[in-house]
Copies of this chain bind each other. A is one copy, B any other.
């Protein structure tokens, strides 16, 4: 089990979250800010089986708009090992 923490731009959140949900990923959304100007970021928590990490990253990649002139990254993604996973 892995926990994906994806930090994306607010404007990409709708497309990314809908696409992840459509593909049966469970997404938790946290409002956040980042960057020099503290602009809006969406921090997504996504718990996935190990063999689903690539698919989830692919969905995120395809649904983030390409960076424009700005050098700012469109998404920063951390994949963490999960020691124990429980659902109630």
Per-residue CB contact flags for chain A residues 60-88 toward chain B (1 = under 8 Å, else 0) read 11001001000001111111111111111
B41 touches A34 (CB 8 A): no
Q: Inside 8 A of A77's CB, which chain B residues have their CB?
A: 84-88
B32 touches A29 (CB 8 A): yes
Q: Decide if A15 is an interface residue (CB 8 Å cutoff).
A: no
Q: Decide if A19 is an interface residue (CB 8 Å cutoff).
A: no
- A81, B28: Cα distance in complex, Å: 21
B43 touches A3 (CB 8 A): no
- 9 closest A-B pairs by beta carbon, nearest first, are A79-B84, A75-B88, A28-B34, A77-B86, A30-B32, A74-B88, A79-B83, A73-B87, A29-B33
